[in-house]
Every structure is written in structure tokens, then in C-alpha cells.
Amino acid sequence: MPSIPSPRAGATPQLTLRPYQSRAVEAVRRQWASGVRSVCLVLPTGGGKTFTATELCSPFARVLWIAHRRELIEQAAESLRRGRWGRSRVGLIAPRHTYIPAAPVQVATVQTLLARSRQRPAADLVVWDECHHERAESYSRITAAYPDALQLGLTATPERSDGKPLGDGFSGLVVGATYSELLEDGHLVPCRVYQPPEAIGRRALAQDPLDAYQRYTAGQSAFVFLPTVALAHETARRFTGAGVPAAVVECNTPPDERVRALRAFADGSIRALVNVATLTEGVDIPRASACILARGCSHVGLYLQIAGRILRPAPGKSEATLVDLTGASLTHGLPTADRAYSLSGDGICSASVASLRNCLQCGAVFPSRPGPCPICGYDPPRREPPPPRIYSLELREVFAGPATPPEAKRREYDRLRALARERGWAPYWVVREYRKLFGEDPVLDDATEDERMAELCSLVRIQRERGHKPGFVGVRYRAMFGRYPSAEMLARATAQEVTT
């Protein structure tokens, strides 16, 4: 089976720790030194979890690195080989790889490690990559074999797919960096978000995915996330037929085809990579700048992983665009919003609420999750879900209040001004709407002479009718237009109001 190349191959490897990575390393080591033997390190997607963890591994003589997918262990092995160990001292424990018992660093899939109980290497440190995937029973079976080893978990989203935190596996938590810190330092790019006015349900989309791509992200390299395999193949055919080369990656895609699709997407010959629950993590293609989210995200961890595919910086890339067709962003917020993490309660603070499921056999109610009823064991037959109902809803851009980048504020200001002129509304309407979005007033620096005079007359009239102080007109005029009215303009406006 061919190995999947890293789409970032050819990029200059990181050679030194960034300041926040150094702080994270020291924080984890302090917890270990204080007696906390299992620490979960949280870094947002793009924060460099693997590189940071290789530094944490460096003092140990024997390291076991565990992940749940073959692509992840191959990427980790390559990163470790670039470190102090070198190629010959890093072994892989996975199907179709030769076991090297003498290697001081072993990188294994959790499935292989569980199956080969007699082939577990000695370790002073056990690293769990993407640790939010590890089920409690798998984790405990392996950690029981390493009672004296320290444990390190790595994740961007410390919450399992059922919404539960990771406190059953880790007793210490270190947050290496916030989204705002990574954005400020240029390690992530800002994300523009378009969303429907309200959440529209699991089986519906605000717009057709192809129409949404052409309207909001035309020409960009886009991940397209869909709920079913049949819909994914149909959508890819429609994208390609519309002049947007597309490919599908799903659970049944042969490895060779998957490799070709990732390579083509990485070099730009494919513009849309359509997938079903397969590219949510472990795939780093920095040139991708758009995401069409056309599937539900019941928990915030999945939402952040999906959005994280497009946040890495790349040459010529100034921002990413998330087109949310289901309303997930209404529930989980902006993908680059800072979040609070915990090993208990809510692993990631979000507005999502766990749903309940009713057993059709015995009537028991329990937290919704795949699989049989925990009371009677009834497992309902699987049915192919119907295709989503597609509406034609207008999407809106999402802003971050006063923290919105200046260029986004200007873009929205220009839109409001054009709309006001088209419909004959006063400039103050622009001020009011702008203030609602950004918590501050704009300066109407492009107002015409007629607009300034009309607004000045309105202010003079308001001052006269409401008995405001003499300075009211000048202060309000300056706030809107950036300067005080001239004496001549003020006299004209006063004379005009007196005669009306």
C-alpha cells in the first residue's frame, strides 16, 4: 500500500520553537515535575503540536508515539526523524512496516498495538496523537502496560465525538496558545464566515454547494464536506461539469486514488476536494483557503477540526473563507474565536446541547450516539439518509465586532453606503447599521456635498426642536464626517431651516 505523502512536502521545516511553543514545553514539564503524570497539551490546528511534542520527547531514552490513523503515524515518524534521533532510530509498528525492536522511538497505530500485545516496546514516555479519538477502554489497556511511563496527549479539540471531556485519561491540561495569539503572529490566517440567518436542520442546506462555491469562493481551492457518499460523488460531477475540477475522498476510496487526489489538490490541478468524514484532520494543505460546510456538526470539536483545514498560512493567502450551509457556526461561533478548555464538564465551551435518542424497541431515552440501545440492545437498521433539502437563503458575512480587521470593516461600510444610495436612505442609516456590527461609528469620508448639507440641515432642525446646546450640531457633524461644518455651511443650513 503506497504511503500518502505530506502535502506540505517541499516547505521549509520549522527548526526552532516559537515563543508560545517554548512556553508550552516548559508548562508540560512543570506539571510532570509536580507529579502530574498524564498531561493533555491543547494547541489549535496550525499551532505545531507535532513539532512541540518532538521537543518534549527529546530528554527521554525510549518513546512510544501512538495515533489512530496510518497517515498520522507516518507524518509523526518523519517529524521525529528530522529531530535528534535520525532515520534509523525511529521505528513504525503498523501493518506493512517492518518492526525494528532496537529503535528507541516507536510510532504505532493504536489498533496494531492492541492486537500485538507481545510486541509492545519499552517506553519512558507515551505520546497520544489526536488523543480525543482514543476511547477510554483502549487508553486504559495500553497505559496499564506502561505504569511507570509519563503520558502526553496532543489535540486541538479536547472533546470526544460524544461531547465528553478527556478527564478519564489525563489529569493535567496545558493550553499552548489561543487562536488570537496565532492570528496576531501570522501562524493562522483570519477566517471570513458566511452563514444562514438561522440553523435550518440536519437534512437541509441554505444553498446548493456549487452555487455557494461560485458565489463566495470562486477560483479558490476548497474542501467540500458532505453528509453522504452518494451526494459527494454527485456534487463532484457537478463541480467538474461547471468547470471546477473536483475529486472525491471517502472511506471506500482506494489508497492510490486518495494519494492522487491529495496531490492534485495540493498542486492546484483539482479545485474542490469533496469528502465524507475523512479529511477532518491529519491533512495539511496550506494553499486551501475555502471550506464549503454542507453537513451537520453536532459537537464543537468536529466543527473546529473541519474549519482548521483552511486556516494555515501560505504564500499569497491573506484569509480563509468558511461557507456554512447548515448553520453550524450559529451554534459553535466563529472558528477562530478563543475558547476555554477543561478535562471535566464541557471539554470545549460551546453553545451546543447534547441531544437525546428514544429506543424504538423498549422506549428507553438515552444520550444520542451511534450503535444499539444500552438498555435492550436493539440496533435499528441503517438507512441511507435522503438527500438534503436545498433552500435559496441569502448568506451573510459574520464579523467580530470591534476586533474585525479594518479591511473587512471598510468592505461592509462600502456595501452599506451603496445600499443607502440605491434606496435613498439618509447617511445616518449607514452610521446606525455600522455601529450595530462594530460597536463604533464610521467616518463618512466619501459623502457628497449634497449629503453633508442635508445631514447638517437635519441636525439644525433636531437642535431647534429638542432644545440641545449650541455645540450639538458641530459635534454630531464632526463625528459623522470627520470635520466641523464651515461657518458658511452652518449659516446656509440655519437659514434654510428657519424658512421651512
Q: Work out the pLDDT band at 279, boundaries 50, 70, 90.
A: confident
Q: Strand (E) positions, 198-270?
A: 204-205, 222-225, 246-249
Q: Strand (E) positions, 359-493?
A: 365-367, 389-390, 396-398
Show the DSSP H helices in 63-170 as ranges.
70-81, 110-115, 136-143
Nearest 5°: the CA angle 441, 444, 448 is 160
Q: Is the predicted pLDDT of residue 3 greater than 80, yes or no?
A: no
Residue 136: closest CA among 153, 118, 112, 156: 153
Q: Work out the pLDDT band at 398, boundaries 50, 70, 90.
A: confident
Q: Is the predicted pLDDT of residue 352 greater than 90, yes or no?
A: no
Q: Is the predicted pLDDT of residue 256 greater than 60, yes or no?
A: yes
C-alpha cell at 487: 461657518
Contacts of 392 (CB under 8 A, 6+ apart): 207
C-alpha cell at 170: 489525563
CB 54 within 8 A of CB 80: yes
Nearest 5°: the CA angle 299, 301, 307 is 110
Per-residue CA distances from 123 to 51, 143, 151, 185, 228 (Å): 20, 11, 10, 36, 41
Contacts of 410 (CB under 8 A, 6+ apart): none
Show the DSSP H helices in 163-244 as ranges.
179-184, 209-216, 229-241
- For residue range 147-182, list pLDDT tens digits in order: 999 999 999 998 887 778 888 889 999 999 999 999
Bigger pLDDT: 314 vs 359: 314
User: DSSP assignment, residue 169?
Assistant: T
Q: In terms of C-beta density within 10 A (0-12 exposed, 13-18 middle, 19 or more buried), how is residue 339 classed? A: buried
Q: Work out the pLDDT band at 283, boundaries 50, 70, 90.
A: confident
pLDDT value of position 93: 84
In sign, the C-alpha dihedral spanning 9, 14, 18, 22 is: positive
Q: Strand (E) positions, 110-209?
A: 125-128, 150-155, 172-175, 191-195, 204-205
Which run of H or E residues covers position 356? strand 356-358
Instruction: Report the alpha-carbon distance of residue 244 to residue 25 in Å, rounded.
Output: 44
What are the structural domains, with CATH classification, of the chain? 19-181 (3.40.50.300), 189-335+387-398 (3.40.50.300), 401-499 (no CATH)
Bigger pLDDT: 493 vs 354: 493
Percentage of the chain lying above the pLDDT 90 cut: 37
Instruction: Report the alpha-carbon distance of residue 40 to residue 52 in Å, rounded.
Output: 13
Q: What is the mean pLDDT of residues 397-410?
A: 84
CB 207 within 8 A of CB 274: no
Torsion, CA 63, CA 68, CA 69, CA 72, rounded to 10: -40
- For residue range 435-445, list pLDDT tens digits in order: 888 888 898 88
Residue 202: closest CA among 89, 315, 355: 355
- Say how many C-beta atoms besides its own lie within 10 A of residue 39's C-beta: 21
Per-residue CA distances from 343 to 23, 228, 229 (Å): 20, 32, 34
